[in-house]
Structure 1
Amino acid sequence: MLHGEPLALLERRDGTWLRVRAPDGYHGWLHAGYVRTGTDDWAEDWTTRATARSLGAELKFEDRRFRLAVGARLVLRRDGLVDTADGRSWSVVWGVVRSDAEYRAEARLVAAPEWAQRWFSGAPYLWGGRTEWGVDCSGLVQATYAARGISLPRDSDQQALAGRAVAIDAAGAGYSAGDILCFADGRRISHVALWAGSGHVVHSALSRGGVASDDLFAHTPAAGRLRDMLVAVRRPETSRG
Protein backbone atom coordinates (compact mmCIF):
# COMPACT_ATOMS: atom_id res chain seq x y z
CA MET A 1 0.00 0.00 0.00
CA LEU A 2 1.02 3.59 -0.60
CA HIS A 3 0.74 6.22 2.08
CA GLY A 4 -2.67 7.85 2.16
CA GLU A 5 -4.55 5.22 0.17
CA PRO A 6 -7.99 4.52 1.65
CA LEU A 7 -8.64 0.94 2.69
CA ALA A 8 -11.80 -0.92 3.60
CA LEU A 9 -11.39 -2.73 6.91
CA LEU A 10 -12.85 -6.23 6.61
CA GLU A 11 -11.59 -8.09 9.67
CA ARG A 12 -9.46 -7.75 12.81
CA ARG A 13 -7.42 -10.61 14.22
CA ASP A 14 -5.73 -10.66 17.64
CA GLY A 15 -5.86 -6.89 17.75
CA THR A 16 -2.69 -6.86 15.67
CA TRP A 17 -3.62 -7.86 12.13
CA LEU A 18 -6.16 -6.28 9.81
CA ARG A 19 -7.65 -7.76 6.67
CA VAL A 20 -8.27 -4.95 4.23
CA ARG A 21 -9.47 -4.28 0.70
CA ALA A 22 -7.46 -1.86 -1.42
CA PRO A 23 -9.01 0.55 -3.94
CA ASP A 24 -8.09 -1.83 -6.78
CA GLY A 25 -10.04 -4.63 -5.08
CA TYR A 26 -6.99 -6.45 -3.71
CA HIS A 27 -7.42 -8.17 -0.35
CA GLY A 28 -4.60 -8.64 2.11
CA TRP A 29 -3.43 -8.62 5.72
CA LEU A 30 -1.60 -5.67 7.27
CA HIS A 31 -0.11 -5.10 10.69
CA ALA A 32 -2.26 -2.59 12.55
CA GLY A 33 0.82 -0.49 13.28
CA TYR A 34 1.06 0.48 9.62
CA VAL A 35 -2.52 1.67 9.29
CA ARG A 36 -4.48 4.51 10.78
CA THR A 37 -8.08 3.58 11.43
CA GLY A 38 -10.99 5.86 12.17
CA THR A 39 -14.65 6.47 11.62
CA ASP A 40 -16.27 6.44 8.21
CA ASP A 41 -16.58 10.24 8.46
CA TRP A 42 -12.85 10.58 9.13
CA ALA A 43 -11.98 8.32 6.19
CA GLU A 44 -14.31 10.23 3.89
CA ASP A 45 -12.84 13.54 5.02
CA TRP A 46 -9.29 12.32 4.38
CA THR A 47 -10.18 10.97 0.95
CA THR A 48 -11.82 14.28 0.04
CA ARG A 49 -8.88 16.41 1.18
CA ALA A 50 -5.95 14.20 0.14
CA THR A 51 -5.91 15.30 -3.48
CA ALA A 52 -2.16 15.63 -4.00
CA ARG A 53 0.53 13.13 -4.94
CA SER A 54 4.17 12.68 -4.11
CA LEU A 55 6.84 12.71 -6.77
CA GLY A 56 9.75 11.50 -4.70
CA ALA A 57 8.90 13.95 -1.92
CA GLU A 58 11.01 13.97 1.23
CA LEU A 59 9.21 15.49 4.21
CA LYS A 60 10.49 17.13 7.39
CA PHE A 61 8.73 17.60 10.73
CA GLU A 62 10.92 19.01 13.50
CA ASP A 63 13.94 16.65 13.52
CA ARG A 64 12.18 13.85 11.64
CA ARG A 65 12.47 13.17 7.93
CA PHE A 66 11.02 10.55 5.68
CA ARG A 67 10.50 10.00 1.99
CA LEU A 68 7.22 9.09 0.35
CA ALA A 69 6.84 6.78 -2.61
CA VAL A 70 5.81 8.12 -5.98
CA GLY A 71 2.02 8.36 -6.03
CA ALA A 72 1.53 8.56 -2.26
CA ARG A 73 -1.50 10.67 -1.29
CA LEU A 74 -1.25 13.86 0.76
CA VAL A 75 -3.10 17.04 1.59
CA LEU A 76 -1.38 19.98 -0.09
CA ARG A 77 -2.00 23.15 1.89
CA ARG A 78 -2.04 26.71 0.61
CA ASP A 79 0.99 27.59 2.75
CA GLY A 80 3.05 24.92 0.97
CA LEU A 81 3.03 22.45 3.85
CA VAL A 82 1.53 19.00 3.44
CA ASP A 83 -0.59 16.96 5.82
CA THR A 84 -0.13 13.22 6.20
CA ALA A 85 -2.74 10.73 7.32
CA ASP A 86 -1.51 10.86 10.93
CA GLY A 87 -2.60 14.49 11.14
CA ARG A 88 0.87 16.04 11.10
CA SER A 89 1.96 18.91 8.89
CA TRP A 90 5.30 18.63 7.13
CA SER A 91 7.53 20.77 4.96
CA VAL A 92 8.73 19.38 1.64
CA VAL A 93 12.54 19.49 1.60
CA TRP A 94 13.19 17.44 -1.54
CA GLY A 95 11.16 16.30 -4.50
CA VAL A 96 7.74 17.72 -5.20
CA VAL A 97 4.09 17.30 -4.32
CA ARG A 98 1.57 17.94 -7.09
CA SER A 99 -2.18 18.26 -7.11
CA ASP A 100 -3.92 15.29 -8.70
CA ALA A 101 -4.63 17.32 -11.83
CA GLU A 102 -1.01 18.47 -12.15
CA TYR A 103 0.26 14.97 -11.41
CA ARG A 104 -1.83 13.49 -14.22
CA ALA A 105 -1.01 16.30 -16.63
CA GLU A 106 2.72 15.94 -16.00
CA ALA A 107 2.56 12.18 -16.53
CA ARG A 108 0.69 12.64 -19.81
CA LEU A 109 3.32 14.99 -21.19
CA VAL A 110 5.42 11.94 -22.02
CA ALA A 111 4.67 8.43 -23.21
CA ALA A 112 3.86 5.92 -20.49
CA PRO A 113 7.13 3.95 -20.75
CA GLU A 114 9.18 7.15 -20.56
CA TRP A 115 7.40 8.11 -17.33
CA ALA A 116 7.98 4.61 -15.95
CA GLN A 117 11.70 4.89 -16.63
CA ARG A 118 11.90 8.40 -15.21
CA TRP A 119 10.52 7.42 -11.82
CA PHE A 120 11.25 3.70 -11.55
CA SER A 121 14.56 3.27 -13.36
CA GLY A 122 16.86 1.21 -11.16
CA ALA A 123 14.07 -0.03 -8.91
CA PRO A 124 14.77 -3.61 -7.82
CA TYR A 125 12.34 -6.40 -8.59
CA LEU A 126 10.03 -7.09 -5.66
CA TRP A 127 7.04 -9.40 -5.94
CA GLY A 128 4.00 -7.44 -4.85
CA GLY A 129 5.88 -4.13 -4.92
CA ARG A 130 4.50 -0.89 -6.32
CA THR A 131 7.18 1.65 -5.45
CA GLU A 132 10.57 2.84 -6.64
CA TRP A 133 12.07 0.83 -3.76
CA GLY A 134 10.73 -2.41 -5.21
CA VAL A 135 8.23 -3.21 -7.93
CA ASP A 136 7.00 -6.19 -9.91
CA CYS A 137 5.92 -6.25 -13.55
CA SER A 138 2.21 -5.58 -13.04
CA GLY A 139 2.91 -3.09 -10.25
CA LEU A 140 5.00 -1.02 -12.66
CA VAL A 141 2.26 -1.06 -15.29
CA GLN A 142 -0.45 -0.24 -12.75
CA ALA A 143 1.53 2.63 -11.18
CA THR A 144 2.42 4.09 -14.57
CA TYR A 145 -1.17 4.21 -15.73
CA ALA A 146 -2.46 5.37 -12.34
CA ALA A 147 -0.29 8.46 -12.74
CA ARG A 148 -2.15 9.14 -15.99
CA GLY A 149 -5.52 8.81 -14.25
CA ILE A 150 -6.21 5.35 -15.64
CA SER A 151 -7.13 2.57 -13.22
CA LEU A 152 -5.85 -0.90 -14.07
CA PRO A 153 -6.16 -4.16 -12.15
CA ARG A 154 -3.24 -5.24 -9.99
CA ASP A 155 -2.31 -8.62 -11.49
CA SER A 156 -0.84 -9.36 -14.91
CA ASP A 157 -3.57 -11.84 -15.86
CA GLN A 158 -6.20 -9.18 -15.12
CA GLN A 159 -4.27 -6.53 -17.04
CA ALA A 160 -4.29 -8.87 -20.02
CA LEU A 161 -8.04 -8.22 -20.22
CA ALA A 162 -7.87 -4.43 -19.81
CA GLY A 163 -8.58 -2.02 -22.64
CA ARG A 164 -8.84 -3.30 -26.18
CA ALA A 165 -6.87 -5.91 -28.06
CA VAL A 166 -4.14 -5.00 -30.53
CA ALA A 167 -3.13 -7.55 -33.14
CA ILE A 168 0.17 -9.26 -32.39
CA ASP A 169 2.74 -8.49 -35.05
CA ALA A 170 6.13 -10.14 -35.43
CA ALA A 171 7.75 -6.75 -36.08
CA GLY A 172 5.64 -4.72 -33.66
CA ALA A 173 3.73 -2.99 -36.45
CA GLY A 174 0.62 -1.28 -35.12
CA TYR A 175 1.87 -1.07 -31.55
CA SER A 176 1.79 2.29 -29.75
CA ALA A 177 3.98 3.47 -26.89
CA GLY A 178 2.34 2.35 -23.67
CA ASP A 179 0.64 -0.73 -25.08
CA ILE A 180 0.74 -3.58 -22.58
CA LEU A 181 2.49 -6.69 -23.88
CA CYS A 182 1.35 -9.83 -22.08
CA PHE A 183 3.45 -12.96 -21.83
CA ALA A 184 2.35 -16.44 -20.79
CA ASP A 185 4.32 -19.25 -19.21
CA GLY A 186 2.15 -22.10 -20.38
CA ARG A 187 -1.51 -21.15 -20.06
CA ARG A 188 -1.07 -18.48 -17.39
CA ILE A 189 -0.18 -14.84 -18.02
CA SER A 190 2.98 -14.44 -15.97
CA HIS A 191 4.54 -11.18 -17.17
CA VAL A 192 3.60 -7.80 -18.62
CA ALA A 193 5.68 -5.03 -20.17
CA LEU A 194 5.17 -1.59 -21.69
CA TRP A 195 5.89 -1.16 -25.38
CA ALA A 196 8.32 1.75 -25.78
CA GLY A 197 8.73 1.75 -29.56
CA SER A 198 11.64 0.80 -31.83
CA GLY A 199 11.42 -2.78 -30.64
CA HIS A 200 11.97 -1.96 -26.98
CA VAL A 201 9.93 -2.73 -23.89
CA VAL A 202 10.13 -1.30 -20.37
CA HIS A 203 9.39 -3.80 -17.64
CA SER A 204 10.29 -5.04 -14.19
CA ALA A 205 11.74 -8.52 -14.46
CA LEU A 206 13.36 -10.78 -11.90
CA SER A 207 15.84 -11.92 -14.55
CA ARG A 208 16.94 -8.30 -15.02
CA GLY A 209 17.02 -7.53 -11.31
CA GLY A 210 14.31 -4.91 -11.64
CA VAL A 211 13.16 -2.21 -14.02
CA ALA A 212 14.92 -2.26 -17.38
CA SER A 213 14.53 -1.41 -21.04
CA ASP A 214 15.11 -4.36 -23.36
CA ASP A 215 15.13 -4.94 -27.09
CA LEU A 216 12.38 -7.46 -27.74
CA PHE A 217 13.85 -8.26 -31.15
CA ALA A 218 17.45 -8.73 -30.04
CA HIS A 219 19.18 -11.94 -31.12
CA THR A 220 19.53 -13.25 -27.58
CA PRO A 221 18.03 -16.26 -25.80
CA ALA A 222 16.19 -14.01 -23.33
CA ALA A 223 14.58 -11.91 -26.06
CA GLY A 224 13.70 -15.03 -28.00
CA ARG A 225 11.93 -16.51 -24.99
CA LEU A 226 9.90 -13.34 -24.52
CA ARG A 227 8.86 -13.31 -28.18
CA ASP A 228 7.75 -16.92 -27.91
CA MET A 229 5.75 -16.14 -24.76
CA LEU A 230 3.87 -13.13 -26.17
CA VAL A 231 0.16 -13.96 -26.24
CA ALA A 232 -1.62 -10.60 -26.14
CA VAL A 233 -1.20 -6.87 -26.62
CA ARG A 234 -3.65 -4.56 -24.88
CA ARG A 235 -4.25 -0.84 -25.19
CA PRO A 236 -5.97 0.93 -22.29
CA GLU A 237 -8.87 2.81 -23.86
CA THR A 238 -7.87 6.29 -22.76
CA SER A 239 -4.10 5.93 -23.06
CA ARG A 240 -2.13 8.72 -24.64
CA GLY A 241 1.41 9.03 -25.97
Structure 2
Amino acid sequence: MHYGFCNLNIVPVRWEPADSSEMVTQLLFGDHFKVIEKRKKWSKIRIAFDQYEGWIDNKQYLDITEDQYTEIEQTPNQLTGDVIDFLQDQQNQLIPISLGANINKVELGGYTYEGRKFQGKIPKEQFLETAFLYLHAPYLWGGKTPFGIDCSGLTQMVYKLNGYSLLRDASQQARQGEALSFIEESEPGDLAFFDNQEGEIIHVGIIMRDNYVIHAHGKVRIDRLDHSGIFNVDTKQYSHNLRVIKKII
Protein backbone atom coordinates (compact mmCIF):
# COMPACT_ATOMS: atom_id res chain seq x y z
CA MET A 1 0.00 0.00 0.00
CA HIS A 2 1.21 3.50 -0.89
CA TYR A 3 0.23 6.75 0.81
CA GLY A 4 -0.03 10.38 -0.27
CA PHE A 5 -0.31 13.95 0.98
CA CYS A 6 -1.83 16.84 -1.00
CA ASN A 7 0.82 19.57 -1.16
CA LEU A 8 -1.06 21.81 -3.60
CA ASN A 9 -3.94 24.21 -3.06
CA ILE A 10 -6.77 22.46 -4.97
CA VAL A 11 -6.37 19.15 -6.82
CA PRO A 12 -9.16 17.63 -8.95
CA VAL A 13 -10.16 14.05 -8.17
CA ARG A 14 -11.60 12.43 -11.29
CA TRP A 15 -13.98 9.56 -12.02
CA GLU A 16 -11.54 7.97 -14.49
CA PRO A 17 -7.77 8.36 -15.06
CA ALA A 18 -7.97 11.10 -17.70
CA ASP A 19 -7.78 14.90 -17.69
CA SER A 20 -11.06 14.98 -19.62
CA SER A 21 -12.88 12.82 -17.04
CA GLU A 22 -15.56 14.19 -14.71
CA MET A 23 -14.29 15.77 -11.49
CA VAL A 24 -16.08 14.06 -8.60
CA THR A 25 -14.42 15.87 -5.69
CA GLN A 26 -11.29 17.83 -4.80
CA LEU A 27 -8.30 17.49 -2.52
CA LEU A 28 -7.34 20.56 -0.54
CA PHE A 29 -3.87 21.22 0.79
CA GLY A 30 -3.11 18.87 3.70
CA ASP A 31 -5.54 16.11 2.74
CA HIS A 32 -4.03 12.64 3.03
CA PHE A 33 -5.03 9.40 1.38
CA LYS A 34 -4.19 5.83 0.49
CA VAL A 35 -3.04 5.03 -3.03
CA ILE A 36 -4.97 1.90 -3.97
CA GLU A 37 -3.78 1.68 -7.59
CA LYS A 38 -0.88 3.42 -9.31
CA ARG A 39 -0.33 3.78 -13.06
CA LYS A 40 2.24 5.66 -15.11
CA LYS A 41 0.43 9.01 -14.90
CA TRP A 42 -2.50 8.45 -12.52
CA SER A 43 -3.17 7.15 -9.03
CA LYS A 44 -6.48 5.86 -7.72
CA ILE A 45 -6.84 7.10 -4.14
CA ARG A 46 -9.08 6.63 -1.13
CA ILE A 47 -9.34 9.89 0.84
CA ALA A 48 -8.86 9.38 4.58
CA PHE A 49 -11.49 11.90 5.70
CA ASP A 50 -14.52 10.46 3.90
CA GLN A 51 -13.26 7.27 2.18
CA TYR A 52 -14.14 8.76 -1.21
CA GLU A 53 -12.30 7.26 -4.18
CA GLY A 54 -11.11 8.71 -7.46
CA TRP A 55 -8.09 9.35 -9.69
CA ILE A 56 -5.48 12.09 -9.38
CA ASP A 57 -2.44 13.07 -11.42
CA ASN A 58 0.79 11.59 -10.05
CA LYS A 59 2.46 15.00 -10.35
CA GLN A 60 -0.01 16.58 -7.96
CA TYR A 61 0.79 14.97 -4.62
CA LEU A 62 3.62 14.05 -2.27
CA ASP A 63 4.42 10.43 -1.44
CA ILE A 64 4.53 9.75 2.30
CA THR A 65 5.30 6.69 4.40
CA GLU A 66 2.79 4.56 6.27
CA ASP A 67 4.19 5.97 9.55
CA GLN A 68 3.63 9.53 8.33
CA TYR A 69 0.08 8.63 7.24
CA THR A 70 -0.64 7.16 10.67
CA GLU A 71 0.82 10.23 12.39
CA ILE A 72 -1.46 12.52 10.36
CA GLU A 73 -4.44 10.32 11.23
CA GLN A 74 -3.66 10.69 14.93
CA THR A 75 -3.15 14.48 14.78
CA PRO A 76 -6.29 16.66 15.20
CA ASN A 77 -7.24 18.78 12.21
CA GLN A 78 -6.19 22.41 12.09
CA LEU A 79 -8.08 24.00 9.21
CA THR A 80 -7.47 27.40 7.66
CA GLY A 81 -10.19 29.91 8.47
CA ASP A 82 -9.94 32.52 5.72
CA VAL A 83 -11.25 32.35 2.15
CA ILE A 84 -7.67 32.63 0.93
CA ASP A 85 -4.43 32.53 2.90
CA PHE A 86 -0.79 31.67 2.36
CA LEU A 87 1.86 29.22 3.46
CA GLN A 88 5.52 30.15 3.45
CA ASP A 89 8.07 27.73 2.04
CA GLN A 90 11.72 27.35 2.97
CA GLN A 91 12.69 29.97 0.35
CA ASN A 92 10.21 32.43 1.92
CA GLN A 93 7.90 32.15 -1.09
CA LEU A 94 4.16 32.39 -0.50
CA ILE A 95 1.93 29.47 -1.45
CA PRO A 96 -1.83 30.23 -1.70
CA ILE A 97 -4.27 27.93 0.12
CA SER A 98 -8.06 27.98 0.33
CA LEU A 99 -10.54 27.91 3.19
CA GLY A 100 -10.52 24.49 4.88
CA ALA A 101 -6.94 23.48 4.04
CA ASN A 102 -5.50 21.23 6.74
CA ILE A 103 -2.26 22.66 8.10
CA ASN A 104 -1.69 20.18 10.94
CA LYS A 105 1.34 18.73 9.13
CA VAL A 106 2.64 21.60 7.00
CA GLU A 107 6.19 20.56 7.86
CA LEU A 108 5.81 17.57 5.49
CA GLY A 109 6.13 20.01 2.61
CA GLY A 110 8.59 22.27 4.42
CA TYR A 111 6.02 25.04 4.99
CA THR A 112 5.06 27.31 7.86
CA TYR A 113 1.64 28.87 8.56
CA GLU A 114 0.66 31.71 10.90
CA GLY A 115 -2.93 32.47 9.92
CA ARG A 116 -6.37 31.88 11.39
CA LYS A 117 -7.33 28.28 12.28
CA PHE A 118 -10.42 26.23 13.01
CA GLN A 119 -9.70 23.62 15.69
CA GLY A 120 -11.86 21.19 17.66
CA LYS A 121 -15.64 20.97 17.85
CA ILE A 122 -17.57 24.23 17.55
CA PRO A 123 -21.20 24.66 18.75
CA LYS A 124 -23.83 24.14 16.06
CA GLU A 125 -25.10 27.67 16.70
CA GLN A 126 -21.99 28.92 14.88
CA PHE A 127 -22.32 26.72 11.79
CA LEU A 128 -24.15 29.38 9.81
CA GLU A 129 -21.33 31.87 10.33
CA THR A 130 -19.06 29.35 8.63
CA ALA A 131 -21.57 28.73 5.83
CA PHE A 132 -21.70 32.48 5.10
CA LEU A 133 -17.99 32.33 4.20
CA TYR A 134 -19.11 30.46 1.06
CA LEU A 135 -22.04 32.76 0.20
CA HIS A 136 -22.17 33.57 -3.56
CA ALA A 137 -19.49 30.98 -4.38
CA PRO A 138 -20.26 29.65 -7.89
CA TYR A 139 -21.67 26.16 -8.20
CA LEU A 140 -19.06 23.64 -9.36
CA TRP A 141 -19.75 19.91 -9.59
CA GLY A 142 -17.23 18.22 -7.29
CA GLY A 143 -16.04 21.54 -5.85
CA LYS A 144 -15.18 22.18 -2.19
CA THR A 145 -13.93 25.78 -2.03
CA PRO A 146 -15.29 29.37 -2.12
CA PHE A 147 -14.08 29.47 -5.73
CA GLY A 148 -16.46 26.68 -6.77
CA ILE A 149 -18.52 24.27 -4.68
CA ASP A 150 -21.41 21.82 -4.99
CA CYS A 151 -24.29 21.28 -2.57
CA SER A 152 -22.78 18.39 -0.60
CA GLY A 153 -19.32 19.95 -0.74
CA LEU A 154 -20.80 22.97 1.05
CA THR A 155 -22.39 20.91 3.83
CA GLN A 156 -19.33 18.68 4.20
CA MET A 157 -16.92 21.61 4.46
CA VAL A 158 -19.09 23.59 6.91
CA TYR A 159 -19.33 20.57 9.18
CA LYS A 160 -15.63 19.75 8.75
CA LEU A 161 -14.53 23.28 9.66
CA ASN A 162 -16.60 23.00 12.81
CA GLY A 163 -15.13 19.66 13.84
CA TYR A 164 -17.62 17.10 12.48
CA SER A 165 -17.48 14.51 9.71
CA LEU A 166 -19.93 14.16 6.84
CA LEU A 167 -19.63 11.83 3.87
CA ARG A 168 -19.11 13.38 0.44
CA ASP A 169 -22.31 12.99 -1.58
CA ALA A 170 -25.82 14.16 -0.64
CA SER A 171 -27.17 10.60 -0.93
CA GLN A 172 -24.47 9.41 1.47
CA GLN A 173 -25.01 12.26 3.92
CA ALA A 174 -28.75 11.47 3.95
CA ARG A 175 -27.93 8.14 5.60
CA GLN A 176 -26.29 9.90 8.54
CA GLY A 177 -27.98 11.37 11.62
CA GLU A 178 -31.55 11.27 12.94
CA ALA A 179 -34.60 12.00 10.79
CA LEU A 180 -37.00 14.71 11.96
CA SER A 181 -40.72 14.71 11.21
CA PHE A 182 -41.26 18.45 10.78
CA ILE A 183 -39.25 21.54 9.89
CA GLU A 184 -40.41 23.02 13.20
CA GLU A 185 -38.34 20.37 15.02
CA SER A 186 -35.15 21.45 13.28
CA GLU A 187 -32.43 23.80 14.49
CA PRO A 188 -30.11 26.06 12.51
CA GLY A 189 -27.30 23.84 11.24
CA ASP A 190 -29.48 20.78 10.62
CA LEU A 191 -29.59 19.42 7.07
CA ALA A 192 -32.47 19.30 4.59
CA PHE A 193 -32.35 16.73 1.78
CA PHE A 194 -34.21 16.86 -1.52
CA ASP A 195 -35.09 14.20 -4.09
CA ASN A 196 -35.97 13.88 -7.77
CA GLN A 197 -39.01 12.27 -9.37
CA GLU A 198 -37.42 8.83 -8.99
CA GLY A 199 -37.02 9.36 -5.24
CA GLU A 200 -33.24 9.69 -5.37
CA ILE A 201 -31.55 12.18 -3.04
CA ILE A 202 -29.94 14.78 -5.30
CA HIS A 203 -29.56 17.92 -3.17
CA VAL A 204 -28.81 19.09 0.37
CA GLY A 205 -28.84 22.42 2.20
CA ILE A 206 -28.24 23.81 5.68
CA ILE A 207 -31.32 24.94 7.59
CA MET A 208 -31.34 28.51 8.89
CA ARG A 209 -33.69 30.37 11.23
CA ASP A 210 -37.18 31.47 10.20
CA ASN A 211 -37.63 28.90 7.40
CA TYR A 212 -34.63 29.76 5.26
CA VAL A 213 -31.98 27.47 3.82
CA ILE A 214 -28.46 28.11 2.51
CA HIS A 215 -27.48 25.83 -0.34
CA ALA A 216 -25.46 25.62 -3.57
CA HIS A 217 -27.69 26.00 -6.63
CA GLY A 218 -26.10 28.06 -9.38
CA LYS A 219 -24.24 29.70 -6.54
CA VAL A 220 -24.32 29.45 -2.76
CA ARG A 221 -27.55 31.27 -1.99
CA ILE A 222 -30.27 31.72 0.61
CA ASP A 223 -33.84 30.74 -0.21
CA ARG A 224 -37.11 29.99 1.55
CA LEU A 225 -37.79 26.49 2.90
CA ASP A 226 -41.18 24.94 3.61
CA HIS A 227 -42.75 21.48 3.72
CA SER A 228 -42.85 21.34 -0.09
CA GLY A 229 -39.20 22.23 -0.61
CA ILE A 230 -37.03 25.18 -1.59
CA PHE A 231 -38.79 28.28 -2.92
CA ASN A 232 -36.37 30.31 -5.01
CA VAL A 233 -36.70 33.96 -3.99
CA ASP A 234 -35.55 35.17 -7.43
CA THR A 235 -37.63 33.02 -9.77
CA LYS A 236 -40.61 32.76 -7.37
CA GLN A 237 -40.76 29.03 -8.07
CA TYR A 238 -39.94 25.84 -6.21
CA SER A 239 -36.55 24.49 -7.25
CA HIS A 240 -36.26 21.37 -5.06
CA ASN A 241 -38.63 18.84 -3.49
CA LEU A 242 -38.11 18.24 0.24
CA ARG A 243 -37.52 14.60 1.16
CA VAL A 244 -36.18 14.50 4.73
CA ILE A 245 -34.62 16.64 7.45
CA LYS A 246 -31.71 15.22 9.41
CA LYS A 247 -30.17 16.17 12.74
CA ILE A 248 -26.53 15.17 12.48
CA ILE A 249 -25.45 16.47 15.90
Q: 1:200 to 1:22 in 2, by over 3 A?
A: same
Q: Shift of the alpha carbon at 1:111?
A: 3.3
Equivalent position of 2:102 in the other structure? 73
Corresponding position: 1:58 with 2:86:
yes
Separation in 1, partners of 2:47, 2:169: 13
Separation in 2, partners of 1:223, 1:22: 40
Q: 1:96 to 1:114 in 2, by over 3 A?
A: closer
Separation in 2, partners of 1:46, 1:188: 36
Equivalent position of 2:20 in the other structure? none
Q: Shift of the alpha carbon at 1:121?
A: 1.7
Q: Please list, as runs of the form range in 1=range in 2, the aligned pairs for 1:16-165 lying within 5 A after superposition.
A: 16-23=41-48, 24-48=50-74, 51-56=77-82, 57-61=85-89, 62=91, 64-75=93-104, 83-86=106-109, 88-92=110-114, 95-98=115-118, 100-101=119-120, 104-105=121-122, 108=123, 110-117=125-132, 119-165=133-179
The Cα RMSD (Å) is 2.4
Q: 1:127 to 1:232 in 2, by over 3 A?
A: same
Check the 8 A contact 2:103/2:113 in 1, yes or no.
no
Q: 1:111 to 1:226 in 2, by over 3 A?
A: farther
Equivalent position of 2:242 in the other structure? 230
Query: Structure 2 length as normaliser, TM-score?
Result: 0.77
Q: 1:176 to 1:49 in 2, by over 3 A?
A: closer
Gaps of 5+ in 1: 77-82
Q: 1:183 to 1:75 in 2, by over 3 A?
A: closer
Separation in 1, partners of 2:234, 2:75: 50
Gaps of 5+ in 2: 1-26
Q: Which protein is richer in helix relative to its size? A: 1
Summarize deviations over 1:52-98 as a string: whole Å, max 9, x none.
Answer: 2211232233452222222211137xxxxxx3532x13354xx4235
Corresponding position: 1:203 with 2:215:
yes
Q: What secondary structure is seen at the aligned counterpart in 1 of 2:243?
A: strand
Q: 1:120 to 1:63 in 2, by over 3 A?
A: same
The count of residues paired between Structure 1 and Structure 2 equals 214
Q: 1:211 to 1:41 in 2, by over 3 A?
A: same
Separation in 1, partners of 2:232, 2:143: 30
Q: What secondary structure is seen at the aligned counterpart in 1 of 2:141?
A: coil
Q: Which moved more, 1:25-34 or 1:49-58?
A: 49-58
Check the 8 A contact 2:224/2:232 in 1, yes or no.
no
Corresponding position: 1:180 with 2:191:
yes
